[in-house]
């Protein structure tokens, strides 16, 4: 298998952490999605990373489909619970974390447009998603060690990637000082080799 991703893609990082936790060997093919001839476009009509290329060359996207597939192909370190109710609970938390990342990316892209074309209303709308999302995650975690039944799962991987991405891309949001328990939770996650080996690097 091969994984097409970009160095700092949070969705790609989620997949890379899952690969590491499950000890699945996978070659990384790095591409720049801002280039017109990027590798993702050859395998995903949406031109987005990550894309997993199976051994027969078939592409799998997006990140939530990839991680669910990886959890099924290897029994090592199960990251999604077997019971449908618990499984959907983990996937809902993944969807919330991914949605917060989507809103963060939307703000970043808006800020790159020429100043007169930027919409403050649009940015405020995206910020609202991030702020409500973080409050929901903090309430969900409470004083637990992990989000789901106090055992490490895909919900923690997706949430940890999201929190680290917020600190990386919008440090001024300073979610950590408003939610110290969440900050401590991220610190613990970042100690795992799967997290520490996939940290985003300043461009």
Ligand X SMILES: N[C@@H](CCC(=O)N[C@@H](CS)C(=O)NCC(=O)O)C(=O)O
The SS3 call for residue 195 is helix
- CA pair distance 64, 48, nearest whole angstrom: 13
Total count of residues recorded for the chain: 203
Indicate the residue whose CB is closest to ligand X.
Answer: 62
From 24, 26, 29, 33, residue interacting with ligand X (rule: CB under 6 A) = 33
From 62, 110, 140, 190, residue interacting with ligand X (rule: CB under 6 A) = 62
Say whether residue 49 binds ligand X (CB under 6 A).
Answer: yes
Question: Which x/- pattern over 128-147 shows residues binding ligand X (rule: CB under 6 A)?
Answer: --------------------
φ and ψ at residue 134, rounded to 5 degrees: -65, -40
Question: Greatest CA span in the chain, whole angstroms?
Answer: 52
Cβ distance 160 to 190 under 8 Å? yes
Minimum Å gap between C-beta 8 and ligand X is 8
DSSP state of 90: H
Cβ distance 44 to 51 under 8 Å? yes
Say whether residue 98 binds ligand X (CB under 6 A).
Answer: yes
Say whether residue 63 binds ligand X (CB under 6 A).
Answer: yes
Where do the DSSP E strands lie in 99-154?
Answer: none
Say whether residue 43 binds ligand X (CB under 6 A).
Answer: no
Say whether residue 48 binds ligand X (CB under 6 A).
Answer: yes
- CA pair distance 134, 15, nearest whole angstrom: 22
Binding-site size, ligand X (CB under 6 A) = 13
Question: Which x/- pattern over 155-174 shows residues binding ligand X (rule: CB under 6 A)?
Answer: --------------------
- CA pair distance 89, 122, nearest whole angstrom: 30
Say whether residue 126 binds ligand X (CB under 6 A).
Answer: no
Nearer Cβ to ligand X (82/202): 202
Say whether residue 106 binds ligand X (CB under 6 A).
Answer: no
Tell me which residues touch ligand X (CB under 6 A).
Answer: 6, 9, 11, 33, 47-50, 61-64, 98
């Amino acid at each position: 298998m091969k994984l097409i991703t970009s160095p700092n893609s949070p969705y790609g990082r989620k997949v890379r952490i899952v690969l590491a936790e499950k000890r699945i060997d996978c070659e990384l093919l790095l591409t720049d999605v801002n280039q017109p001839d990027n590798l993702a476009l050859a395998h995903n009509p949406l031109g987005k990373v990550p894309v997993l290329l199976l051994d027969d060359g078939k592409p799998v996207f997006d990140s939530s489909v990839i991680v669910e597939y990886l959890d099924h192909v290897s029994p090592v370190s199960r990251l999604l619970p077997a019971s449908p109710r618990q499984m959907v609970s983990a996937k809902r938390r993944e969807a919330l974390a991914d949605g917060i990342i989507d809103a963060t990316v939307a703000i970043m892209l808006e800020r790159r447009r020429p100043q007169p074309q930027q919409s403050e209303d649009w940015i405020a709308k995206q910020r609202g998603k991030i702020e409500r999302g973080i409050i929901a995650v903090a309430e969900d975690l409470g004083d637990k060690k992990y989000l789901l039944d106090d055992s490490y799962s895909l919900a923690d991987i997706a949430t940890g990637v999201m929190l680290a991405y917020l600190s990386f891309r919008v440090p001024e949001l300073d979610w950590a000082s408003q939610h110290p328990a969440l900050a401590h939770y991220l610190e613990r996650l970042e100690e795992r080799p799967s997290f520490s080996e996939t940290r985003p690097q300043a461009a």
